[in-house]
Structure 1
Amino acid sequence: MHNHSYKHFLLVFSLFLCLILPRLAARGAEEQPMEQQQLRIVSLSPNVTETIFALDAGELLVGRSDYCNYPETATTLPSVGTLYNPSLEMLLSLEPNLVISSAFVPEQFLDAVKKAGIDVLTLETQQDFQGTYTLIREIARRTGKDAEAELMILSMQNVVRNVVLKTQQSAKPTVYVALDFGSFDSSATKGTFLSEMVSLAGGINIADDAQNWTYSKELLMSHDPQVILLSPRWGETGEQTLKEFTTTKPYADLSGTIRIFDADLISRQGPRSAQALEELYNLIHQEQMQ
């Protein structure tokens, strides 16, 4: 290249860099998630709160719901109330610029939050184990924690794979998940995340013949499952719930083994779901493991 042509090329190339690079940088900044120090998040769902802390982004949270009780640190954050009836006034006083919800929060409440100029992320993950990974990735994208999310998901997938391999060598007992009982019987019915968890953990979920988390006493008694997983009732210890279950008709007539389980751990789609699957496997196959 002639000297004159080379100088001309350098001049044009320098102009290109001066004009184009700032635009590319600006566009890149727009596509990046909000800088962490600028984000002020209110989480309205326990699994969202767990995920944010697990992704090492807990410092971005300025508020939570009453049910966001894990990790322990989360309980030090101000609460905006229950999932079903949160306080808009309390939420606005925390001055968030992002509100994240995964389920049960009234649509009109979220609309009011949007009208106040606050960004709302509603996570409607599918009711299966894959949906857990979707939830983690969505939250990671908004908090700038994509790399952490992929490492977490890889680790979870390894645990899930190991559990599923173990189930191939195990007998498959019939299982009933008792979420509530008495005047209203609630269980992990067909099409729920918890039902898939029972299946992945090597159990046969008897409640797969019903829908919408509701089960009948007649069906429960006719199946008489081998393993009954009992969730402690709100405000009760596992022992108190177990005593009530085993002394109340018709449940007292069931012949299956009853085991108390941690509903917060097992029924929340989030970073502890692989650990929950392992725990579920141990609960279902306890006899075989002894």
Structure 2
Amino acid sequence: MPGSGECDITMLRRLQTLAATLVVGLVTAPLVHAGVCATDATGREVCLDQPATRIAALSPGATELVWAAGAGEQVVAVVSFSDYPPGATEVTSVGSHTRLDLEKLLSLEPDLVIGWVTGNPPEQLETLWELGLPVFSIEPRNFEAVSTTIEQLATLAGTEEAGFAEAERFRQGIAELTSEYRDAEPVSVFYQVWDEPLMTVNDDHLIGKMVTLCGGVNVFGDLDRLVPRISAEAVIAADPEAILAGGMGEENRQWLTRWESFPGLTASKRGNLFFIPPSLVQRPTPRMLEGSRLFCDKLDIARTRSEDR
């Protein structure tokens, strides 16, 4: 049997052949638009001779953002857990965001790949570049970046009318919430992003910015890491007025049951243990507007509950 080195060489040659076929197809394709360019989250300018018609989205969030940009029908490849919008589940999967099937991806002949800066392994994205594929890497870290990313994707896909309208809808919705809650009474908040190990977010994370937007004060907001690990004892010591959590699934509030066993905890004592569907807050997409409204509604409920509850 051939050794692993021979297998690696064989696979590389197959990928190179597929990539060469793809590049020839791109070069000989008729140009129907002028070239388009956009600068991605890494500072790299990505230019296409014509708007992309075969897009590969390498994270569930990227998939949602491409659809938001009006280019859903142009998506030919996604990764696992790309479950929104419903049409995304019908698109060919090329592995997970951490482990791509490069041969399968290349066989789909994408003319634009949407990468995830902190989610996709850098070496995989660089391999795609080396094979001749244009890779546009995204990493929205604030609300405005969500809108800007949608606009950039719409530009690269030639769907500016739909994409720019959606970007502005999100931008205006966030602006309205910001104005509504600018002077809201502060509520101390713990947001649980994971259960085992117990994890939260700091103020630089987009979810942390949602807490702030709604007048919340993140009790772990000043920690250095975007998604720090913490202990239950740290939560008890911080004694938040409200605890918000997602869970393993859109309707599973099991993560909150841990805190019900601490009746002296202010959030538990007041009944301020709130479930938030994770898909509305844990992907940097326009659905964060719906998630933000839900956050704000929950904190409004916390404000109305007295200390004696």
TM range (shorter): 0.7 to 0.9
The answer for the alignment partner of 2:138 in structure 1 is 123
| C-alpha separation in 2, matches of 1:180 and 1:204 | 19
The answer for the alignment partner of 1:196 in structure 2 is 209
- What TM-score do you get using the length of structure 1 for normalisation? 0.79
* Conserved 8 A contact 2:70-2:163: no
Displacement, 1:240?
A: 3.3
| C-alpha separation in 1, matches of 2:56 and 2:301 | 40
Cα distance change on mapping 1:27 and 1:56 into 2, 3 Å:
closer
Letter in 2 for 1:258: L
Letter in 2 for 1:163: L
The answer for the alignment partner of 1:156 in structure 2 is 170
Per mean C-alpha deviation after superposition, the further-off stretch among 75-84 and 212-221 is 212-221
Percent of paired sites with the same residue: 24
The answer for the alignment partner of 1:254 in structure 2 is 265
The answer for the alignment partner of 2:289 in structure 1 is 274
* Aligned partner (choices 13, 30, 33) of residue 35 of structure 2: 30
Per mean C-alpha deviation after superposition, the further-off stretch among 143-152 and 54-63 is 143-152
Displacement, 1:274?
A: 2.1
The total of aligned residue pairs comes to 258
| C-alpha separation in 1, matches of 2:291 and 2:195 | 23
Displacement, 1:187?
A: 0.6
Kindly report which structure 2 residues correspond to 1:91-240, keeping only aligned pairs within 5 A, or say none: 91-103=105-117, 104-125=119-140, 127-168=141-182, 170-182=184-196, 184-212=197-225, 213-217=227-231, 218-233=233-248, 237-240=251-254
Letter in 2 for 1:61: V
Cα distance change on mapping 1:82 and 1:31 into 2, 3 Å:
closer
* Aligned partner (choices 80, 92, 117) of residue 94 of structure 2: 80
Is 1:263 aligned to residue 268 of structure 2? no
* Conserved 8 A contact 1:232-1:241: yes
The answer for the alignment partner of 1:16 in structure 2 is none
CA-to-aligned-CA distance 1:213-263 (integer Å, 9 cap, x gap)? 114224321111011011113x6851433335545xxx6753302111112
| C-alpha separation in 2, matches of 1:289 and 1:137 | 39
3-state DSSP class of the match of 1:238? coil
Displacement, 1:283?
A: 2.0
| C-alpha separation in 2, matches of 1:75 and 1:244 | 33
Cα distance change on mapping 1:240 and 1:124 into 2, 3 Å:
closer
Displacement, 1:166?
A: 2.2
- What TM-score do you get using the length of structure 2 for normalisation? 0.75
Is 1:54 aligned to residue 68 of structure 2? yes
Runs of 4+ in structure 1 deviating by more than 6 angstroms, as ranges, are: none
| C-alpha separation in 2, matches of 1:265 and 1:27 | 37
Gaps of 5+ in 1: 1-25
CA RMSD of aligned residues (A): 2.6
Structure (1 or 2) with the greater helix fraction: 1
The answer for the alignment partner of 1:6 in structure 2 is none
Cα distance change on mapping 1:228 and 1:31 into 2, 3 Å:
closer
* Conserved 8 A contact 1:34-1:143: no
Cα distance change on mapping 1:43 and 1:252 into 2, 3 Å:
farther
* Conserved 8 A contact 2:187-2:302: no
Cα distance change on mapping 1:42 and 1:205 into 2, 3 Å:
same
| C-alpha separation in 2, matches of 1:289 and 1:224 | 18
